[in-house]
Structure 1
């Protein structure tokens, strides 16, 4: 277990929003044993615990974090099996960079995650959120997640079918607020991800392109396949145009990506929206309809760059990202988030939910 340099003893140094207070005890885990030792020590002593990967989905308080922050810095992957019939059976430590894995998949001819290019953060965070973009989700190729159960002090492996995956949610994520025993675990879930197992098909072309914007940019119809490398290149271009690829010189990327999730609405809630509001029926028994948070935000009067000049503003490239213009504190970002949330609720009766993990703060 390695201690941090002095420069890393702040959550502002460890998160892509670049806000957050000092950390009492910061550690980097270079092995699974080191990670488990740090988690167990914190839990047995009743010390607040935050396990971090890339820090790309965290909004932390300006106040000091009086606990242990453990950053998983393990890298690499293991290909357990690879064949034309079964595809690639890949096991990845939670600390591996997600986009590094996507780049490797494209190089190896593994098809199915190329549209998830450019997403910052670590592999371990992806099943927690069931990360998705441009028509793909990690759940499409997820085989299992191996975890440390803080409740029992044992290793627990979940098959995909046991994870309760949904739109930007999972059993793992829901344990932040409370598990089946009624205990809340945040800011780290009950189950700490150790490894992620993926079953990725071999193919010379991408998975069918499902997202209309991506299809238009590629010049193909929805459902067509193109070279996976072309999908990756195109998605990276689209994300850069929206300020969604990290760039230290671009304050539009000093964000947590999309700050609000797209709302899931009942049929009545959906019907109450303006006629031209985006609606995407999920096809479930409840008739749930997904709408667009970005559309609701912009049509409630919050355009790109709202808040400028100031310490925090909406991105000048995408209305769904809250950004640090260089001098923001957590409270600046929270104030902006509340303004946007309350404005959308007033205009449309829809309450937007934040996507980032909130550490020591509430919206």
Structure 2
């Protein structure tokens, strides 16, 4: 039993909202985590797990159930890696940025562009965490989970996790339930051994963010330092002296729309195709070719569009706040909603709803929240 005195969730979440729950537990080892979850499920209690608290938006009323804090940690190298790579298994409660710092120090590439993202490793596959064109699905091998229905522990390959843009089978999207109710115990990644020298930076989005030309070569440490500096300028690195970091990061997801809908948006709205455009090649046997070449059938593709651009061009600038509200849009980044000191969950929700309405009125698109909402309605 690892029950502790409940703390206000406003102290444990980066948005700084939420009263103390009815019950709270802390799990510092894998065995404690498994045991606590099985006990909670056997009791039929309402529950949720809490890692770094950076992707949670908790309501003002006390949660009538158990909050389980996942405080496990540890990194180990394991067998099975492909040539030129290293496999590591990381406990779910391990700090994400501490993991990134470890991989950079070890000369292992694959997650360096995700430096500075707050939270824990176990949360990363849940929303397929990513930044600057790099996400965890590119290096994830498998996760170890405990299933809520059976209490069984199993290892699930990445191919069965339904990983997509900021989603997985574990993600509790606003207004829906996760496809698979389970808790991640550990995460296995396979990273490329590049050492500490310079190597080419792959990915146009990352090069663009870092101001690099195609073919440019830099070290992993250089990428990490510059990503951290970029995120810091946007108020996206936790800093208790900067009120802009009292947020859940990007509150709204960049929208995924059809190519047809994207054409209805202004040309200036940044957009990125979600699938590569592949030129179709058709081969006709000469002995059966009659000279007729059918017109190519266009293949629809999805397009990611910038939610930040849509927000700012719907008339909501950085630093915007509603009258008498203690919640505001970040002064550095239009996607982040911030608690400027003592804001209630309802104040933040009111601001979020206003932004949704403005963007929908201007562009016909309803932005979806990225954090997990507990006891809050938009």
TM-score for the superposition, normalised by structure 2: 0.88
Whether the aligned pair in 2 keeps the contact of 1:112 and 1:207 (CA below 8 Å) is: no
1:222 Cα deviation from its structure 2 partner: 3.8
Greater CA deviation, 290-299 or 154-163? 154-163
1:174 Cα deviation from its structure 2 partner: 5.4
Whether the aligned pair in 1 keeps the contact of 2:132 and 2:209 (CA below 8 Å) is: no
SS of equivalent to 1:66: coil
* TM alignment of 1:156-235, pairs within 5 A: 156-173=154-171, 177-178=176-177, 190-204=181-195, 205=198, 208-212=201-205, 214-216=206-208, 218-222=210-214, 224-235=216-227
1:114 Cα deviation from its structure 2 partner: 0.7
SS of equivalent to 1:156: strand
- 1:281 aligned residue: 273
Equivalent residue in structure 2 for 1:99, among 97, 100, 103? 97
When residues 281 and 219 of structure 1 are mapped into structure 2, their CA distance, relative to the original with a 3 A threshold, is: closer
Measured in 1, the distance between the counterparts of 2:356 and 2:309 equals: 13
CA RMSD between the two structures? 2.0
1:355 Cα deviation from its structure 2 partner: 0.3
When residues 166 and 83 of structure 1 are mapped into structure 2, their CA distance, relative to the original with a 3 A threshold, is: closer
The answer on 1:134 being equivalent to 2:132 is yes
TM-score for the superposition, normalised by structure 1: 0.92
SS of equivalent to 2:166: coil
SS of equivalent to 2:124: helix
Equivalent residue in structure 1 for 2:142, among 144, 150, 153? 144
- 1:111 aligned residue: 109
When residues 352 and 190 of structure 1 are mapped into structure 2, their CA distance, relative to the original with a 3 A threshold, is: same
- 2:334 aligned residue: 319
Greater CA deviation, 260-269 or 114-123? 260-269
Give the helix-richer structure, 1 or 2. 1
When residues 101 and 344 of structure 1 are mapped into structure 2, their CA distance, relative to the original with a 3 A threshold, is: same
Structure 2: 5+ residue stretches without partners: 277-298
* TM alignment of 1:228-243, pairs within 5 A: 228-243=220-235
1:250 Cα deviation from its structure 2 partner: 1.0
Measured in 2, the distance between the counterparts of 1:339 and 1:230 equals: 39
Measured in 1, the distance between the counterparts of 2:304 and 2:103 equals: 30
- Per-residue deviation, residues 152-211 of structure 1 (Å, max 9, x unmatched): 22113211111111110111115883356xxxxxxxx61100000000110034672424
Measured in 2, the distance between the counterparts of 1:220 and 1:142 equals: 26
Larger radius of gyration: 2
Equivalent residue in structure 1 for 2:321, among 286, 307, 311? 307
The answer on 1:244 being equivalent to 2:203 is no
- 1:184 aligned residue: none
When residues 292 and 63 of structure 1 are mapped into structure 2, their CA distance, relative to the original with a 3 A threshold, is: same
The answer on 1:268 being equivalent to 2:260 is yes
When residues 164 and 27 of structure 1 are mapped into structure 2, their CA distance, relative to the original with a 3 A threshold, is: same
SS of equivalent to 1:127: coil
When residues 26 and 164 of structure 1 are mapped into structure 2, their CA distance, relative to the original with a 3 A threshold, is: same
- 1:349 aligned residue: 364
Whether the aligned pair in 1 keeps the contact of 2:56 and 2:371 (CA below 8 Å) is: yes
Q: How many residues align?
A: 352
Measured in 2, the distance between the counterparts of 1:239 and 1:209 equals: 19
Measured in 2, the distance between the counterparts of 1:271 and 1:216 equals: 23
Measured in 2, the distance between the counterparts of 1:56 and 1:358 equals: 12
Measured in 1, the distance between the counterparts of 2:173 and 2:326 equals: 33
